């Protein structure tokens, strides 16, 4: 189960039947194949999707006999519980689908729900927390079975004996790392500048060339990076990546530690490998007006707590609700982190 194949999508993809639909199929042509670290990646077609019939059959009906691995990302305005999810990108081995949540609305997102919640579809994503929050609160989708490349990066560093690294390796930084991709992503700066000028950038229709290119660029490398990471991860480390991914998906979605989101089935552990202690997610409510005290000047106190406890801590500054702190780690690490924060609040 650990080396899921990156399936080629079925030939039963919806084909454009008239000129207007033909204009909604864009071929991503970069002069043939793309080369990274000596590996050749083929150019693939891009489909803008507003209807269920435009998605692959095996994605719409996940099956244990035809497991999939896909790249996933979302774009939107203030992507969170209170924002607007505008585009969801799905990267398959030989096609990329841009699911237009603005034009397709709730019906197209509902069509994607079974796959996004399925154990039979592995979703490769970089930092799933915001995406999961938006999917849950805007469409009632409980994102499941993710392979988060941000988590995987950190655990590979630990596995290789490197000292503790920052929780938040950026996607641009990951792409630049020659071990995984070794490419620069300067176009991201252009999009960020456009977003500062026009916060509603992702709501504009029809999709412009730069919107299509940017949305595609955010997922087109994910399956390549996934395979590089799978090759590096031990069975135990891969289990840790998948288990921590469950907690990250739930993180910003929970009001309390044991409410709102029923527990996922435990991830099966590889036979013959010692079972590590499972990490847990705990939520600490912060009194009104005290979050600044918890964060500290330029994040100094939170960094101190993370370094002292070895737990992963997410606060309102990271995009989650500003009256709660989310703590992920081994049970002892979480207890230590909570004790340090509670002590600070009593000062």
User: What are the extents of the domains in the chain?
Assistant: 19-237, 277-346
* pLDDT classification of 38: cutoffs 50, 70, 90: low
Instruction: State how far the alpha carbon of 82 is from the alpha carbons of 70, 77, 137, 140, in Å.
Output: 26, 9, 8, 13
CATH architecture of 19-237: 2-Layer Sandwich (3.30)
Question: Is 34's pLDDT higher than 60?
Answer: no
Instruction: State how far the alpha carbon of 107 is from the alpha carbons of 44, 48, 110, in Å.
Output: 26, 15, 5
The span from the CA of 226 to the CA of 206, in Å, is: 32
Q: What is the pLDDT of residue 18?
A: 45
The span from the CA of 181 to the CA of 294, in Å, is: 37
CA angle 100, 106, 108 (to 5 degrees): 50
Residue 208: CB atoms within 10 A of its CB come to 12
The span from the CA of 334 to the CA of 307, in Å, is: 12
Residues facing residue 92 across a β-bridge: 95
CA angle 133, 278, 169 (to 5 degrees): 50
Q: How far from each other are the two terminal CA atoms of the chain, in whole angstroms?
A: 50
Which residue has tokens 């043939």?
A: 32
Output the six-digit token pair for 11. 């030939």
Q: What is the pLDDT of residue 165?
A: 62
Q: What is the pLDDT of residue 277?
A: 87
DSSP 81: T
Whole-structure pTM value: 0.87
pLDDT digits (tens, 9 = 90+) for 83-124: 999 999 999 999 999 999 999 999 999 999 999 999 999 999
The span from the CA of 333 to the CA of 118, in Å, is: 30
Element (H, E) at 241: helix 235-251
- Asked whether 57 and 65 are in contact (CB, 8 A), the reply is no
Element (H, E) at 327: strand 324-329
Question: Is 126's pLDDT higher than 60?
Answer: yes
- Asked whether 97 and 116 are in contact (CB, 8 A), the reply is no
* pLDDT classification of 289: cutoffs 50, 70, 90: confident
* pLDDT classification of 276: cutoffs 50, 70, 90: confident
* pLDDT classification of 264: cutoffs 50, 70, 90: low
Q: CATH topology for 277-346?
A: Ribosomal Protein S8; Chain: A, domain 1 (3.30.1370)
Determine whether 1 is exposed, middle or buried from the number of CB atoms within 10 Å of its CB (0-12, 13-18, 19+). Answer: exposed
Instruction: State how far the alpha carbon of 297 is from the alpha carbons of 164, 208, 304, 306, 340, in Å.
Output: 21, 41, 11, 15, 16
277-346 shares the fold of 19-237: no
Residue 185 has, within 13 A of its CA and on its CB side, a CA count of 22
């Amino acid at each position: 189960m650990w080396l899921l194949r990156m399936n080629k999508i079925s030939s039963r993809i919806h084909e454009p039947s008239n000129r207007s639909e033909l204009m909604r199929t864009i071929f991503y042509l970069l002069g043939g194949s793309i080369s990274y670290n000596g590996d050749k990646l083929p150019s693939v077609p891009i489909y803008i999707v507003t209807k269920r019939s435009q998605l692959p059959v095996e994605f719409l009906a996940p099956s244990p006999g035809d497991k999939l691995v896909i790249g996933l990302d979302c774009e939107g305005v203030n992507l969170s519980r209170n924002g607007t999810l505008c585009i969801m990108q799905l990267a398959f081995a030989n096609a990329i689908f841009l699911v237009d949540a603005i034009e397709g609305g709730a019906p197209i997102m509902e069509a994607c729900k079974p796959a996004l919640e399925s154990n039979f579809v592995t979703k490769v994503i970089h930092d799933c927390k915001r995406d999961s929050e938006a999917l849950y609160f805007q469409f009632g989708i409980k994102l499941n079975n993710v392979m988060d490349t941000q988590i995987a990066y950190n655990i590979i560093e630990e596995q290789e004996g490197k000292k503790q690294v920052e929780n938040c390796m950026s996607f641009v930084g990951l792409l630049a790392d020659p071990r995984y991709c070794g490419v620069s992503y300067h176009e991201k700066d252009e999009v960020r500048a456009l977003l500062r000028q026009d916060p509603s950038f992702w709501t504009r229709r029809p999709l412009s060339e730069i919107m299509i290119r940017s949305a595609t660029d955010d997922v087109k490398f994910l399956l390549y990076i996934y395979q590089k990471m799978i090759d590096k991860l031990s069975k135990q480390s891969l289990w840790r990546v998948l288990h921590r991914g469950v907690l990250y998906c739930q993180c910003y979605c929970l009001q309390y530690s044991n409410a709102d989101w029923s527990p996922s089935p435990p991830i099966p552990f590889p036979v013959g490998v010692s079972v590590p202690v499972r990490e847990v997610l705990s939520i600490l409510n912060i009194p009104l007006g005290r979050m600044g005290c918890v964060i500290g000047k330029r994040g100094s106190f939170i960094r101190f707590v993370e370094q002292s406890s070895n737990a992963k801590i997410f606060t309102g500054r990271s995009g989650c609700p500003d009256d709660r702190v989310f703590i992920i780690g081994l049970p002892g690490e979480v207890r230590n982190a909570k004790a340090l924060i509670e002590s600070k609040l009593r000062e």
